[in-house]
């Protein structure tokens, strides 16, 4: 069954559309939703764009300055268009058995206080969404869905898991991502327990205060879900302390520098994990996607790359071989301010991955280097391994 936490829901349908606007103006779109931090963004003279049906800040100034702040100090993002969902059951076995029906990665070994990156299958082994799943206790998990898929995720969980678990989407909340090597320093005064958390560890500090040490930038940082009123207070406090507000444009650069996929670009309902650059989460187990669908031979793959000459790759640009044959395309592209070159992610024929490849940029072939992992050295704080 589905239980609402507080009044109202915020459904969204469209994934991503960028418009260029004078700073501080709002697109003249009908029925766009806003987050509880919308007035704060206007006060800071943000530029806005539509994202997943929401009117979201795309930048507050120079995108390069926002990227640099996150890589060297601290920046923060309003990600309240994403949806936290509480999942509960009578027992750990009942909760994880229900989730494993739809999850790419099994959840049974997820211990309280830990989180995992995961994804939800449809019956054809395509991806409904990529998500984070966190264990609050043996019988209580939290799942965070992407903005463009929030309605689809709730409906999917209800269809395949709803008879066995309680599904409780949050409402009247904010979700703020505070990212960068100094993120913990800026948050330590308000949250005394942060030093206890390492990468992909979480804490439900109050009934409506969820904190995870994770993010979408490749740096150390925290994602904080709390009530709308508390989120506005936290945002203002961090602005006053000197944390740099950052928008969707810098977030996209940062996630590409870290080679993190984006649903609707690298991931979709038509692609399996092995084709989407997230094969590392695949586990063979009984679920709604039959094994013959999950383990069909893989003909294409998604991976990172950077250009070895000048140029900026963009989504849709063709990936070609030395003789000009098209073997794939760019799924996301940008200029890396951190590495000072064009880079991104591409989906290509698996058989071509070891060949010399080029991005066709307006008829000019730009050579590339395949990236198997992010080129960054980051500030992520991992728990030391015990002997």
CA atoms within 13 A on the CB side of 202: 31
Residue range 208-216: mean pLDDT, rounded: 98
In degrees, rounded to 5, the angle at the alpha carbon of residue 228 between the alpha carbons of residues 226 and 229 is 105
Does residue 206 surpass a pLDDT of 90? yes
Report which of 51, 46, 42, 43 is spatially closest to residue 10, judged by C-alpha positions: 51
Q: How confident is the model at residue 6 (pLDDT cuts 50, 70, 90)?
A: very low
Residue range 66-76: mean pLDDT, rounded: 98
Query: What does the pLDDT read at residue 387?
Result: 56
Residue range 316-333: mean pLDDT, rounded: 98
Percent of the chain residues past pLDDT 90, beyond the cut:
91
Contact indicator for 368, 358 with CB cutoff of 8 Å: yes
Does residue 9 surpass a pLDDT of 60? no
Least confident range from 25-29, 93-97, 303-307, 369-373: namely: 25-29
Residue range 114-131: mean pLDDT, rounded: 98
Q: How confident is the model at residue 31 (pLDDT cuts 50, 70, 90)?
A: confident
Task: Give the predicted TM-score (pTM) of the model.
Answer: 0.92
Place of tokens 């939290």: 142
Q: How confident is the model at residue 197 (pLDDT cuts 50, 70, 90)?
A: very high
Residue range 310-321: mean pLDDT, rounded: 98
Which 3 state secondary structure label does DSSP give 113? coil
Query: What does the pLDDT read at residue 354?
Result: 96
Q: How far apart are CA 251 and CA 57, in angstroms?
A: 11
What domains lie within the chain, and their CATH numbers?
A: 1-261 (3.30.1360.120), 299-371 (2.40.30.110)
Does residue 15 surpass a pLDDT of 80? no
Does residue 23 surpass a pLDDT of 70? no
DSSP string, 322-336: TT--EEEEEEEEEEE
Residue range 228-253: mean pLDDT, rounded: 98
Does residue 8 surpass a pLDDT of 50? no
């Amino acid at each position: 069954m589905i239980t609402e936490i507080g009044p109202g829901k915020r459904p969204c349908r469209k994934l991503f559309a960028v418009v260029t606007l004078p700073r501080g103006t709002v697109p003249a779109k009908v029925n766009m939703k806003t987050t509880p931090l919308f007035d704060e963004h206007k006060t800071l003279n943000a530029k806005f764009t539509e994202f997943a049906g929401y009117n979201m800040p795309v930048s507050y100034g120079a995108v390069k300055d926002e990227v640099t702040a996150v890589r060297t100090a601290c920046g923060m993002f309003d990600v309240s268009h994403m949806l936290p969902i509480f999942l509960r059951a009578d027992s750990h076995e009942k909760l994880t058995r229900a989730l494993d029906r739809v999850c790419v990665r099994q959840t049974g070994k997820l211990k309280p206080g830990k989180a995992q990156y995961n994804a939800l299958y449809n019956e054809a082994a395509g991806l409904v969404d990529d998500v984070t799943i966190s264990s609050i206790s043996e019988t209580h998990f939290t799942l965070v869905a992407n903005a463009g898929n929030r309605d689809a995720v709730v409906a999917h969980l209800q269809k395949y898991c709803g008879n066995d678990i309680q599904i409780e989407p949050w409402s009247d909340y904010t979700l703020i991502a505070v990212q960068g090597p100094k993120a913990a320093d800026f948050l330590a005064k308000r949250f005394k327990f942060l030093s206890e958390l390492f990468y992909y560890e979480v804490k439900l500090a109050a009934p409506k205060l969820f904190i995870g040490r994770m993010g979408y930038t490749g740096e150390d940082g925290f994602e904080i879900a709390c009530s709308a009123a508390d989120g506005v207070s936290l945002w203002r406090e961090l602005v006053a302390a000197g944390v740099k507000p950052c928008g969707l444009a810098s977030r996209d650069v940062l996630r590409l520098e870290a080679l993190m996929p984006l649903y609707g670009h690298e991931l979709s309902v038509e692609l399996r994990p092995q084709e989407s650059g997230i094969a590392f989460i695949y586990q063979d187990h009984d679920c709604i996607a039959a094994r013959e669908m999950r383990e069909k031979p893989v003909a294409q793959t998604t991976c990172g790359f950077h250009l070895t000459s000048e140029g900026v790759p963009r989504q849709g640009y063709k990936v070609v071989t030395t003789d000009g044959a098209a073997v794939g395309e760019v799924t996301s592209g940008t200029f890396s301010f951190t590495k000072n070159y064009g880079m991104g992610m591409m989906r290509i024929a698996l058989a071509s991955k070891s060949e010399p490849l080029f991005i066709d940029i307006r008829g000019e072939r730009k050579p590339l280097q395949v990236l198997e992992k992010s080129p960054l050295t980051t500030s992520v704080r991992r728990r030391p391994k015990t002997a």
